[in-house]
Structure 1
Amino acid sequence: MSVDLEHIRAIDDPFELLRVVTGRLADAQREVTELARLRRGVVQDLHAKGMSYAQIAEAAGLSRGRIHQIRQSGPAPEGAFLGIGGVIVATPLRQDAPGARTVVAVDDVTSGKRLEDLARSLGLDVTSEHVPVSGDLDLNRDGLIAVCGPRMSEDMEATYGRDPILRWEKQGDEPWALRDTRTGVVHRSGMDEDPARSQDVGYLGRLPRPDGEGLVLTIAGIHTPGSLGVVHLLANDLAQLFGRVGTKGFSTLVGVEFDPDTHEPRNVELLTPLYLHDGS
């Protein structure tokens, strides 16, 4: 029996015992899930590098049947793109005018809900929260997914400023735009044109936290359809994205053509490469 388990069994207060055991069971289940995800990923990687399942089984000292079982069961490795064990999905509250009622944009709600569903389907625990109107957001947390642009939060604006390649830009009364400093191309939303087009630009990146102790997954559109487009990309191409950037720091821009009535994405494509950041 482990020392920790002996200490738990020695707890006299039944309510404290119940609380501690429940918490430890939850932690243990998350660890089991992530170990199974890691194991399946190792088998897939070895097979992708040219090893047969029989060779993998022999080298690992396991049966071929067990290797096939591992390959077909357990949570998908690409879930690690979103987080390890669990994620926190944060979407912004909005206030159209000082003193006005606080609201949430329908597109933000939809983006958040679809991210939560995606994370759960990958075996991750999910919690959700709102970025308050003040824009204050604790970014120094593992598993945080911030669906929030620089306009809604100074904390997020500072975080986007840590991207070494892609820049959010705004001058005076001009609308926000995104600049690719590698090519010099400035990407603007079709919604800001005259006449307006049903096209937007979304940002997807994994950027350094303020405390320097990790990375935070960031999603934002110049307008809200851009965020919906990024989430659509994640839901449909997560395995490919994970295969190319893993859990490293990166950023990219996404072009989104959408239905003008529902804002549902019709066509989503990468506008830039998946830029891996130095030091990741």
Structure 2
Amino acid sequence: MPGQFEKIAQIEDPFLLLRTATERLAEAQQEVTELARLRRRLIQELHAQGLSYAQIAEKAGLSRGRIHQIRHTGPAPEGAFFGTGTVTVATPLRHDPQKNRPMLSFDDLATGQGVQELVRSFELDVVEDHVSVDGRIDLNRPNLVVICGPAMSDAMRTAYATDPVLQWENPEPLWWQLRDTRTGTAYTSGSDAEPWRPHDVAYLGRLPRPDGKGTFLALAGIHTPGSRGVVHLLNRDLSSLWGQVGTHPFSTLVDTEYDPETKEPVATKLLTPLYRHDEA
């Protein structure tokens, strides 16, 4: 740090100095946040392994009071579920035939904003992006969350096909279902059933990037209420989910009952186990 400060302080152009100092300060603040998150996670993991806080304090050369303080302050470890630093949340654009231009539907907007608010609650920065109307999306980026099903994007359809357990199926035009290949069970949306009911099923998983250099989070309902249900579940159960899958590739299906008028989730639950892909 002293070396970096001295190097920056030697910049003679005042405007370049101001910009460089501002950029470095942002980087340093981000590093402090992630180090605090890492430190808190390590204490929780060591305690879960059976060590007392007194033992952790002794081995780390810290006081027991300091260990307790670290455990209860700073950014929550489960924020790493979304990544580190700046998270990109991508939602799908649809074609507006009346105005002949791309548009973002209200339900996709609500889902995207719900994810963004959750990410920010873990002291992470967020930027928005979109899946284009023709389905184009760059999946080879870190800290990426894509809210889009296979029907709207060939790139996402290819990515979903890499899941070793859960598969999207399209047995009829405009009709989709999700299948658990472990059990053979196919899950469909209540809005496609007779009689109709306010119920949907959604996919949530961490999938490999096409370039093989990491993963990204993907979520999508058979219909849009299912996507909103995933956000509802994450707000309630992210700590438990993170404890089981961490940053490993995984997938699961989410069941959502929703208000037929507002399409707001009323109740959500997991339909399948949390399948770790490295164990599949």
Which residue is equivalent to 2:184? 184
Q: What residue ranges of structure 1 are gaps of 5+ in the alignment? A: none
Deviation of 1:8 after TM superposition, in Å, equals: 2.1
Deviation of 1:2 after TM superposition, in Å, equals: 4.5
Which residue is equivalent to 2:195? 195
CA distance in 1 between counterparts of 2:279 and 2:192 reads: 36
Aligned residue runs from structure 1 range 223-238, under 5 A: 223-238=223-238
Aligned residue runs from structure 1 range 1-280, under 5 A: 2-95=2-95, 97=97, 100-173=100-173, 175-278=175-278
Deviation of 1:231 after TM superposition, in Å, equals: 0.7
Deviations 1:139-169, CA, capped at 9 Å, x for gaps: 1111110011111111111111111111111
Query: Which amino acid letter does the alignment assign opposite residue 54 of structure 2?
Result: A
CA distance in 1 between counterparts of 2:57 and 2:92 reads: 48
Deviation of 1:10 after TM superposition, in Å, equals: 2.7
CA distance in 2 between counterparts of 1:42 and 1:167 reads: 35
Deviation of 1:174 after TM superposition, in Å, equals: 5.2
Deviation of 1:97 after TM superposition, in Å, equals: 4.6
Deviation of 1:132 after TM superposition, in Å, equals: 1.7
CA distance in 2 between counterparts of 1:277 and 1:141 reads: 20
Deviation of 1:51 after TM superposition, in Å, equals: 1.9
CA distance in 2 between counterparts of 1:250 and 1:26 reads: 32
CA distance in 2 between counterparts of 1:22 and 1:174 reads: 50
Identity %: 59
Stretch deviating more after TM superposition (100-109 or 257-266): 100-109
CA distance in 2 between counterparts of 1:23 and 1:154 reads: 37
Q: What residue ranges of structure 2 are gaps of 5+ in the alignment? A: none
Runs of 4+ in structure 1 deviating by more than 6 angstroms, as ranges, are none
Q: TM-score, normalised by structure 1?
A: 0.95
Query: Which amino acid letter does the alignment assign opposite residue 111 of structure 1?
Result: T
**Matched residue SS, 2:278:** coil
Stretch deviating more after TM superposition (68-77 or 97-106): 97-106
Query: Which amino acid letter does the alignment assign opposite residue 8 of structure 2?
Result: I
Q: Specify which structure has the higher proportion of strand.
A: 2
Deviations 1:215-265, CA, capped at 9 Å, x for gaps: 000010000000001111111100000000000000000111111011111
**Matched residue SS, 2:203:** strand
Deviation of 1:177 after TM superposition, in Å, equals: 0.8
Deviation of 1:92 after TM superposition, in Å, equals: 0.9
Query: Which amino acid letter does the alignment assign opposite residue 140 of structure 1?
Result: N
Deviation of 1:274 after TM superposition, in Å, equals: 0.4
Q: 1:181 to 1:236 in 2, by over 3 A?
A: same
**Matched length:** 280
Deviation of 1:72 after TM superposition, in Å, equals: 1.1
**Matched residue SS, 1:32:** helix
CA distance in 2 between counterparts of 1:88 and 1:279 reads: 28
Q: CA RMSD in A?
A: 1.7
